[in-house]
Amino acid sequence: MENKQGESGLKPFVSLILSLKIPKAALILGLLASLITTLIGLVVPLLTRNLVDGFSVESLSMPLIIGIAVAFILQAIINGISIYLLSKVGQRIVAGLRDKMWIRLIRLRVVYFDQHSSGETVSRVVSDTGVVRNLITDHFPNFITGIVSIVGAVTILLILDWKMTLIMLLAVPVTVLIMFPLGRRMAKISRTLQDETAEFSGHVQQTISEIRLMKSSTAEMVEERKGLNGIHQLFKTGMREAKIYAIIAPLMYVVMMAVIVTIIGYGGIRVAEGTMSTGSLVAFLLYLFQIIMPVTTFAMFFTELQKAKGATERIIGILELPLEDGQQGKEMDIAGKALRISGVTFSYETGEPVLQDVSFEAQPGEMIAFAGPSGGGKTTVFGLLERFYEPQKGEILIGDMPIRELSINSWRDQIGYVSQESAMMGGTIRANLTYGLADAEAIPDEQLWTVARMAYAEDFIKEFPDGLDTQVGERGVKLSGGQKQRISIARAFLRDPKILMMDEATASLDSQSEGIVQQALSRLMEGRTTLVIAHRLSTIVDADKIIFIEKGRVTGMGKHSELTASHNLYREFAEQQLT
């Protein structure tokens, strides 16, 4: 059973490596150079035997000395070539692995990122692939050359003296009995260590990304305890791993020293009896070292292999996750088409429904507003329209076409989204304005300044010494809330969306910034189908239709005056905010 598990654990790793584009020429040349290096190394002890057996000042053979020197130099040069080529293969494999993971990650469903921290995901891309890189680049070449060296050395030793060779080989079953149980133990510890590293990375990234919240909440001591607990847990697991290493290394040393002492003792007796020459004993010892060195690297190789198997399980877990629906779909211009939501029910995972039987329609050019208590499901509607999630029941249609049949790129390219958070990427204002556009590099500055002017962002951008090339900092921390909102609106102008969605876009702004942003939003909404979420009813009283959502259900729909007359809770909201 354990062997089957080991095979099934190794098979995915091999399959994953073989699925990548391996530079075959570099691999073949690298292995060939490694083979030549090893064969040259196998010649050296034989030359040394001849040198020792015929050793005297008078009988020193210059050709023999030159031969040994040339063998050493050739071995060093070819070994360097081999290491470089095999390292290139390893680096290329890991680069290909990271390529696959990155291309997959950015197309995964949003649900995955809801359930996994960003730090954990980063750990999978960087740390887990790093484990595979260490195995392939550092340990695999030594493993291959070690096998060749051992096979060659044992073959020559059997020819030189089969009795001494058999004595030496008695150490093999002892080594196997030591390594197998320790290797299984190491695999379990390595998987635990990788999981804990991913969890700790997630905590560190989350804390640093919300550093202002942490400091304003005076939560340094709380985060210090959490971080130190994580570090202590990593330390404990690392020490468990160190204990295995501490057992493996001394045991291997004891076994090897026992073999060496036995061979020297037995060989010394043979030399004294005259049944073996001194040169043959020296050659035998040199071959023995050529066997011992690879065997010690094998211990490290199999340890790293166990780690790589654990890392591979997690990598394959990501590569096998389903992509967002609609990677391949129909292309359609949605201009002038009505948006209809019909009987939509949705829940996150298997919990209580967040939306239940929601239906409404937005005609081209209409402004549809969503109101209601917090947590009612308004933002979830936007998530479904963006196709971050798929409804469990019901349908969302544009014209007569279900949006799930459209290419996800075609659909999202025609939607503009201005959120409350004003999400921004690190980089310049220019990069944020053109973010995601296929022809970003070709967009002229005049067009960027035009959309900035329309969003009332031109003046403050010009105040920066670098203008459009001003660095905004991570998540736009160098800009105020109002400035970030106006850049988000300018980006929406540049995309020229057919449907515009705004999620409480002015909720967190001061009154002066709100006024400017509201003017920009009003300009952006002209001639577009617009969906708006707002807690302040003053911004949506002129909407063509207001949809009131409570606990995931639509409990009212109509104009402001109609809902004021017919809907009790909406009337309470209106009296609190508008009088």
**Each residue's pLDDT tens digit in the chain (579 positions)?**
334 444 445 677 778 777 778 888 888 888 888 888 878 878 878 777 777 776 555 555 677 677 778 878 887 888 888 888 888 888 888 888 888 888 888 888 888 888 877 777 887 788 788 888 888 877 877 787 788 788 888 888 888 788 888 877 777 777 777 777 776 777 778 778 777 877 787 778 777 777 766 776 677 888 888 888 888 988 988 888 888 878 877 877 787 788 888 888 888 888 888 888 888 888 888 888 888 778 777 767 877 787 787 788 888 888 888 888 767 788 888 888 899 999 999 988 767 888 999 999 999 888 898 988 888 888 889 889 988 888 889 999 998 899 888 888 888 888 888 877 777 787 888 888 888 887 878 888 888 898 888 888 888 889 889 888 888 887 778 888 778 888 888 888 888 888 888 876 655 555 666 677 677 777 777 778 889 887 777 778 888 899 999 888 989 899 988 888 888 888 888 888 766
Write out the two tokens for 156.
């020559």
Distance CA 492, CA 439 (A): 15
Per-residue model confidence (pLDDT) at position 245: 77
d(CA 335, CA 478): 37
Single out the residue of 330, 362, 289 nearest to residue 547, CA to CA: 362
> Shortest CA distance to 304 belongs to which of 198, 183, 196?
183
Active site residue 58: no
Q: Please give the Cα distance from 105 to 109 (Å, whole number).
A: 9
Looking from the CA of 187 toward its CB, the CA atoms found within 13 Å total 20
| Euclidean distance between CA atoms 474 and 426, whole angstroms | 4
C-alpha span between 207 and 480 (Å, rounded): 22
- The answer to whether the predicted template modeling score (pTM) of the entire model surpasses 0.75 is no
Closest CA to 302 of 474, 64, 125, 143: 143
Residue with tokens 């490694």: 34
Structure token digits, residue 189: 């510890």
**Sign of the alpha-carbon torsion through 118, 124, 127, 129:** negative
What distance lies between CA 151 and its chain's CA centroid? 40
End-to-end Cα distance, the chain: 76
400's enclosing H/E stretch is none
pLDDT at 7: 43
**Token pair recorded at residue 224:** 């210090």
What are the C-alpha distances in Å from 206 to residues 117, 120, 274, 504?
8, 10, 74, 25
In this structure, what token pair is assigned to residue 114?
Answer: 């809801």
User: Cα(98)–Cα(20) distance, rounded to whole angstroms?
Assistant: 10
* Segments of 381-480 assigned E as strands: 393-398, 401-402, 415-418
Distance CA 150, CA 346 (A): 63
- Selecting among 504, 514, 550, 575, the annotated active-site residue is 504
What is the DSSP code (8-state) at residue 212? H
The residue written with tokens 């595979």 in the block is 132
Beta strands in 151-257 (DSSP E): none
β-bridge mates for residue 355, sequence order: 346
